[in-house]
Chains A and B, each alone.
Chain A
Amino acid sequence: MVRTFIVCAVVVSISGAARAHNAKDWLGEEMPLPLAVKTPQDLAVKAVAERQYLIFNLLAGGKLAWDAGDFATAATKWESLLRVPNLDPEIDHVVRPLAVAAREHAGGAAVASAPSAPAVNAKPAAASTPVVAPAPRVLPVVVSGTIAGGGAPGPGGAVVWLKRSNGETPRPAPAHGKVISQKGKAFVPHVLAVPVGTKISFRNDDAIFHNVFSLAKPNDFDTGLYKQGATYEQSFHKPGPVQLLCNIHSSMIGYVYVVDSPYYAQADGSGAFTIRGVPPGDYEIEVWHEGSSKNTRQHLTVGVDGVRGLDLRVGGDRRPPEFVPDKSGKPRQSHLGY
């Protein structure tokens, strides 16, 4: 409630300030903030301050643009605000209808559901008196392409991700509702890419007992035995490949790949992949495939139009192991049937 009040108060005060001041004098474009960083606490302060400053800037900038009749800029700023990770739901509640209305006024398709009238007591100003609003700082773009190689099984399932070359890659939010089924004595899906921190449900859809374990430290785990319909949840906190095995059925092999970047994708059967929401900049692009003993890495510059038609190749030198280990690490001869 207090936050709602603060948000409304800020919006209203900016509305008033916009009338009283020339937008070019507004403090809102001064980034990064000139805060001295000497200690980890300083860094934390700066990070949080800049995040809140960015939120405020997008919120207020959108309002100023709206008042100036520049609906496209207003829509862009508010839509950018709505994409800020972990945005306070109350801010989302206030801004989403504004963004929808601004986009409609700008003549574009609404991007938010349940459009409603702007909650702020402000009418669009005449289009004949525009105020030049600052251009959006960066708009996320798409990186797409095709992966080749992977040996006989093909490139399907390859996991591709981006890490910033200069600076820290944002920490991804955990995915939700991820399930790997054991069905027909196989892991379905066979390969699943998830961000760090994701909890996966392992579900037995066979009429026989199963087990799931992995020896891939530090993501090693063991579900124990569980029957048809039962599930076991396991969180994955460290990046890297996690080979999934069943202690009962040595022919069962699957993979979870844990990525520590929000910019990732999995290739389909033809090798095609699409990574969305990538801010322009310099990146290292990396590809993992179960059939390759080494990851593919290369530098990638992402421009404001994104990258399309990227061609990548993974090796195919690693075949499924002939002797799959049991959960103690001892190799099993799968041809024995036990």
Chain B
Amino acid sequence: MIARFAIVAALVGFARAAWAQAAPDAEPAAENENDSDGYTPPAGGPGAPPLSIDGYIDVGFARAQGDGTSFSPNDTRLPVDYGVDTFAPAVNSRGDVASTEHGDRLVNGFLPRSVGIGGRPSFLLNVVALDLKYAAPGAPLTIFTRLLGLPRFSDQGDASRFLVEQAFGRLIPFDSLELAIAVGKFDSVFGIEYLDNESNIRTGITPSLIARYTTGQSLGAKVFYRLQIPAAWSAVSINAAATNQGTFVESLQTADASLTGEPVLSARLGYELNLPHVQMKIGASGSYGPRNDQSDRGAKLQLHGLDFRLAVAGVYLNAEAVQVDEDAGAAKTTPSGPQLVASGFHARGFYAQLAWAIAVDAGPLHKITPYARYEQRQAQFEGFDRITVDRITAGVRVELWDSLIVKGEWLVNRELAGAPNVANNVQTASVVYSW
């Protein structure tokens, strides 16, 4: 009886204590008998293989206004590509346009690649990309190759091509330094847009109006060095390259060989602020050397650029400006053949893009990113009219599962000065599957 009383009294006491608590957990914390020390793959055992093969396929659907070019039927100026922005009606991530059909009028090689769909809404197989990366076991050496297949099915545009876009070896010689040395064919070091060159990385579909000057690949050597400043959550970096050619895109360059025997020097100085919820990066870029589309060493190419990136809570602001100056040179060689004149050329332009990445995580839907971009470009071949154009782009990117991206984009191209008004707006969509 005494024992029963003691039990009841104890229970009542505990019940009072429980009433005062506000933690209605059904069960208390259980003792941990299963403590884990974690797992690390043994060196030399099964783990990530040294060779990784990745890639993506980019399938699109596009519609361009008019005949898919920026040429006005009534424009009789020659060469006709010096009087308009031939790159304006871009329809895919490569910057390929719907058409470059110029009739019987003279052009002087300032032309983008064309998918040849004209004004007809069409499906496109934009890019099939294959990345091969080999990380040498036990050595700070990486070999990277990016192969691009560009199937083109219209006889109105460029032919299908197979492109070794990048092939380089990269050495990180010191464990204690952020120093990387690369030799081979690699991305530009100028500005920031080259970082988003590929369909599966770029937020939107099409490159900017100034990408043609800054995002090309070239053969040579480059060095990257970054110094961390932890007290300021910051870092400064330099990325410098000496290459056969400058940073113009492939459609504006000749073969990877040097035509003048002198390298083009390019560099970007960068500062980054990496706060927990705010990341800001700014940079200044420059490039100087012979313009490699002709053989005169005295004809120089100069680029200057500024870039800015801000990321706050899934909102990304990217902006970049560039000025391009090319001296007049000897007769030039372009992908479309030898041309009579290498005119002096001057251009400047900028873009600003705002994107908001909204994490959704509902079934296969991972992220939705609406974005908008405004850009402007002024360009002038010496002796010809200065052309001013701008573009307003709006789109949305939807990420599904781990490997599928669907994008839709609307581009409004406007000729502001120096070029005839042309109906050349574009609606384009892209489905990118990565493996």
Choose among A40, A85, A173, A208 the residue that contacts B175 (Cβ–Cβ < 8 A). A208
Known: A44-B24, A156-B39. A277 touches B182 (CB 8 A): no
A238 to chain B, nearest CB (A): 14
Known: A17-B2, A211-B274. A191 touches B39 (CB 8 A): yes
User: Are A168 and B14 touching (Cβ within 8 A)?
Assistant: no
Number of A-B contacts (CB under 8 A): 237
A-contacting residues, B209-243, CB 8 Å: 224, 226, 228, 230, 233, 235, 237, 239
User: Are A27 and B4 touching (Cβ within 8 A)?
Assistant: yes
Is B49's beta carbon under 8 Å from chain A?
Answer: yes
Contact with B along A294-329 (1 / 0, CB 8 A): 000000000000000000000000111011001111
Is A288's beta carbon under 8 Å from chain B?
Answer: no
User: Are B195 and A193 touching (Cβ within 8 A)?
Assistant: no
Which residue of B has the minimal Cβ distance to A192?
B38
Which residue of A has the minimal Cβ distance to B14?
A52
User: Are B19 and A45 touching (Cβ within 8 A)?
Assistant: yes
User: Are B33 and A323 touching (Cβ within 8 A)?
Assistant: no
Which residue of A has the minimal Cβ distance to B142?
A335
Choose among B36, B224, B239, B311 the residue that contacts A264 (Cβ–Cβ < 8 A). B36
User: Are B47 and A293 touching (Cβ within 8 A)?
Assistant: no
Is A282's beta carbon under 8 Å from chain B?
Answer: no
Is B18's beta carbon under 8 Å from chain A?
Answer: yes
User: Are A13 and B6 touching (Cβ within 8 A)?
Assistant: yes
User: Are A263 and B230 touching (Cβ within 8 A)?
Assistant: no
B-contacting residues, A171-223, CB 8 Å: 171-175, 180, 184-186, 188-195, 206-209, 211, 217, 222
A-contacting residues, B338-361, CB 8 Å: 357, 359
User: Are B18 and A48 touching (Cβ within 8 A)?
Assistant: yes
User: Are B10 and A329 touching (Cβ within 8 A)?
Assistant: no
Choose among A85, A263, A336, A338 the residue that contacts B29 (Cβ–Cβ < 8 A). A85
For B6, the chain A residues whose CB sits under 8 A away are 9-10, 13
A20 to chain B, nearest CB (A): 9
Choose among B18, B34, B357, B434 the residue that contacts A47 (Cβ–Cβ < 8 A). B18
B346 to chain A, nearest CB (A): 31
Find the residue from A170, A293, A323, A337 having the highest chain B CB count within 10 A.
A337
User: Are A156 and B41 touching (Cβ within 8 A)?
Assistant: yes
Choose among B14, B33, B187 the residue that contacts A49 (Cβ–Cβ < 8 A). B14
User: Are B276 and A222 touching (Cβ within 8 A)?
Assistant: yes
Which residue of A has the minimal Cβ distance to B16?
A45
Interface stretch, picked from A96-104, A110-118, A127-135, A266-274, is A266-274
Is A14's beta carbon under 8 Å from chain B?
Answer: yes
Find the residue from B30, B47, B182, B187 having the highest chain A CB count within 10 A.
B30
For B47, the chain A residues whose CB sits under 8 A away are 152-153
Question: Whole-angstrom distance between the alpha carbons of A293 and B404 in the complex?
Answer: 14
- Contact count band on B: 35 or more
User: Are A337 and B274 touching (Cβ within 8 A)?
Assistant: no
User: Are A337 and B180 touching (Cβ within 8 A)?
Assistant: yes
For A224, the chain B residues whose CB sits under 8 A away are 230, 233, 274, 276
Question: Whole-angstrom distance between the alpha carbons of A194 and B38 in the complex?
Answer: 9
**A interface residues, tally (CB under 8 Å):** 96
User: Are A44 and B201 touching (Cβ within 8 A)?
Assistant: no
Which residue of B has the minimal Cβ distance to A179?
B38
Is B48's beta carbon under 8 Å from chain A?
Answer: yes
For A51, the chain B residues whose CB sits under 8 A away are 28
User: Are B35 and A175 touching (Cβ within 8 A)?
Assistant: yes
B149 to chain A, nearest CB (A): 18
Question: Whole-angstrom distance between the alpha carbons of A153 and B52 in the complex?
Answer: 13
Which residue of A has the minimal Cβ distance to B54?
A322
For A52, the chain B residues whose CB sits under 8 A away are 10-11, 14
Question: Whole-angstrom distance between the alpha carbons of A156 and B54 in the complex?
Answer: 23
Which residue of B has the minimal Cβ distance to A41?
B19
User: Are A207 and B39 touching (Cβ within 8 A)?
Assistant: no
B157 to chain A, nearest CB (A): 29
A116 to chain B, nearest CB (A): 23
A170 to chain B, nearest CB (A): 4
B-contacting residues, A108-154, CB 8 Å: 140, 152-154
User: Are B276 and A153 touching (Cβ within 8 A)?
Assistant: no
Known: A217-B359, A276-B34. A170 touches B27 (CB 8 A): yes
Question: Whole-angstrom distance between the alpha carbons of A140 and B47 in the complex?
Answer: 35
Which residue of A has the minimal Cβ distance to B201?
A331
Question: Whole-angstrom distance between the alpha carbons of A280 and B22 in the complex?
Answer: 30
Contact with B along A13-57 (1 / 0, CB 8 A): 110110001000011100001000000110111011101110010
B-contacting residues, A61-102, CB 8 Å: 83-86
User: Are B178 and A269 touching (Cβ within 8 A)?
Assistant: no
Question: Whole-angstrom distance between the alpha carbons of A186 and B201 in the complex?
Answer: 25
Question: Whole-angstrom distance between the alpha carbons of A266 and B34 in the complex?
Answer: 9
Question: Whole-angstrom distance between the alpha carbons of A217 and B360 in the complex?
Answer: 11
For B18, the chain A residues whose CB sits under 8 A away are 41, 44-45, 47-49
Question: Whole-angstrom distance between the alpha carbons of A84 and B237 in the complex?
Answer: 57
User: Are B39 and A170 touching (Cβ within 8 A)?
Assistant: no
Choose among B7, B24, B180, B187 the residue that contacts A40 (Cβ–Cβ < 8 A). B24
Question: Whole-angstrom distance between the alpha carbons of A27 and B11 in the complex?
Answer: 13
User: Can you list 15 A-B pairs, Cβ within 8 angstroms, ordered by A?
Assistant: A9-B6, A10-B6, A44-B21, A83-B31, A84-B31, A152-B48, A174-B32, A189-B39, A193-B38, A206-B175, A208-B178, A262-B34, A265-B36, A266-B39, A338-B239
On A, residues with C-beta under 8 Å from B are: 6, 9-10, 13-14, 16-17, 21, 26-28, 33, 40-41, 43-45, 47-49, 51-53, 56, 60, 83-86, 140, 152-154, 156-157, 168-175, 180, 184-186, 188-195, 206-209, 211, 217, 222, 224-227, 247-248, 262-269, 275-277, 293, 318-320, 322-323, 326-331, 333, 335-338
Q: 12 more A-B contacts (CB under 8 A) besides A10-B10, A266-B38?
A: A49-B14, A51-B28, A52-B11, A156-B46, A171-B27, A191-B39, A225-B228, A225-B230, A248-B178, A248-B226, A322-B52, A337-B180
Please give me the 9 A-B residue pairs with the lowest Cβ-Cβ distance, nearest first.
Answer: A189-B38, A337-B180, A328-B311, A157-B39, A225-B230, A192-B38, A170-B30, A262-B30, A48-B18
